[in-house]
Structure 1
Amino acid sequence: MGPRENPFASLELYLSSGGFVMPVLVLITIALWYAIGYRWVLLDRGTQKSVRVMLGGVDRGKKLPRRGIVPAALREGLDLSERHHKDLRERLDLAFYEHEMAIKRYSKVVSTLVGVAPLLGLLGTVIGMITTFESLGDMTLFSQSGGIAGGISTALFTTQMGLIVAVPGVIARSILDRRQRQIHLDLAQIKDLLCSEVADQAGVETT
């Protein structure tokens, strides 16, 4: 059995094979998955129950889930509805503005990085092909600048890395955007239900 290969040496060889584009793609990967992880935690709805079901449970004396942006917003909305009746809609809009902004956080960052990664991979491909054609003109298989083998390696590895970064990022972005849209609808529904409930109570009191 031969000596064990150093995984860090293999990684260094892989990164160096892609030229100067590879370290940039590595940094983009780290930034992308930090942003995705942040949004994944942030967009935790907290429960599978609908807003109407949660509100009905509160009316029957049940407690709201402790975690999640939607139960937190509903809790805040209920508190406002108990203290303010006349201008409830405006107060809910102001109170939920922070939630509306929070669910958009890092959304553009994720979209930008997902779009930039394959373009950088393409840039590496172009650079690799240029190196290859230059080496073909000199008939240099290996050289200090890379040669034919180095050019082909740069073209292949950067394209591969760009797709490895972008494809999972696109899938994660799609899931997170769907969560964001659902939470946005939930916040709007909370406003409508609470305002409707207060209006119904006011109608009963006047009759």
Structure 2
Amino acid sequence: MQDFMNEGGEVLWLILALTILLWTLICERYWYQLRRHPQRLAATLAAWNERRDKNSWYAHAIREAWLAELELQLNRFVGLLKTVVAVLPLVGLLGTVTGMIQVFDVLAVTGTGNPRAMASGVSAATYPTMAGMVAALSGLYFAARIERRAQAQARIAADRISFLDEE
């Protein structure tokens, strides 16, 4: 791992940090959706069912506010998650640029195309691009799945907190 990081240049450390952030956000969102959201939904549903008035304008406003709060919590960090997925390939391209600058520096110093001298620059140009794309692709599926799941759970919450008295 250390050899890979050294050959890829400093940009790989940034890609590693972003990948750790990406997977931390993915795990946190799954934890929230599977553990915390059902508890919050049950508490909101219990509070709604305790209300006597479910049909007035005030009741509708309270219901909408509670649903909005649930939806906000479901979508928390989803934007950041999608941003990290979008930024990872760009950081990989930054590594490509810095690696190519190393190659051009070698060409400027040696004057000819010494393949051994240029090898480290080529590695520093290739590895970050690959790492950024692999990290982004690994998170892309989960980011889309988390977003769809949050939307579905928000719809379920809206359906379960109904307007009608069940007496």
Which TM-score tier does this pair reach, normalised by the shorter chain? 0.7 to 0.9
What residue number does 1:158 align with?
128
Distance of 2:121 and 2:66 partners within structure 1: 57
**Compared with structure 1, are the counterparts of its residues 168 and 69 closer, same or farther at alpha carbon in structure 2 (3 Å cutoff)?**
farther
Report the alpha carbon displacement of residue 76 of structure 1 after superposing the two structures with TM: 3.4
What residue number does 2:49 align with?
78
Distance of 1:90 and 1:190 partners within structure 2: 16
What residue number does 1:29 align with?
19
Distance of 2:18 and 2:124 partners within structure 1: 18
Report the alpha carbon displacement of residue 88 of structure 1 after superposing the two structures with TM: 1.8
Instruction: Kindly report the root-mean-square deviation, in angstroms, between the aligned alpha carbons of the 2 structures.
Output: 2.4
- Superposition pairs for residues 132-143 of structure 1, below 5 Å? 132-137=103-108, 138=110, 139=112, 140-142=114-116
Contact 1:77 1:190 in 2 (8 A): no
- SS of the residue corresponding to residue 105 of structure 1 reads coil
Distance of 1:45 and 1:185 partners within structure 2: 18
- SS of the residue corresponding to residue 84 of structure 1 reads coil
Matched length: 162
**Compared with structure 1, are the counterparts of its residues 73 and 183 closer, same or farther at alpha carbon in structure 2 (3 Å cutoff)?**
farther
* Normalised TM-score (structure 1): 0.69
Report the alpha carbon displacement of residue 99 of structure 1 after superposing the two structures with TM: 1.2
Percent identity over the alignment is: 27
Contact 1:135 1:141 in 2 (8 A): no
In structure 2, the gaps of 5 or more residues are none
Contact 2:75 2:147 in 1 (8 A): no
Q: Tell me which of 89, 93, 96 is aligned to 2:64.
A: 93
* Normalised TM-score (structure 2): 0.84
What residue number does 1:128 align with?
99
1:15 maps to 2:8: no
Deviations 1:9-65 (A, max 9, x none): xx111111111101111110111111111111112289xxxxxxxxxxxxxxxxxxx
The structure richer in helix per residue is 2
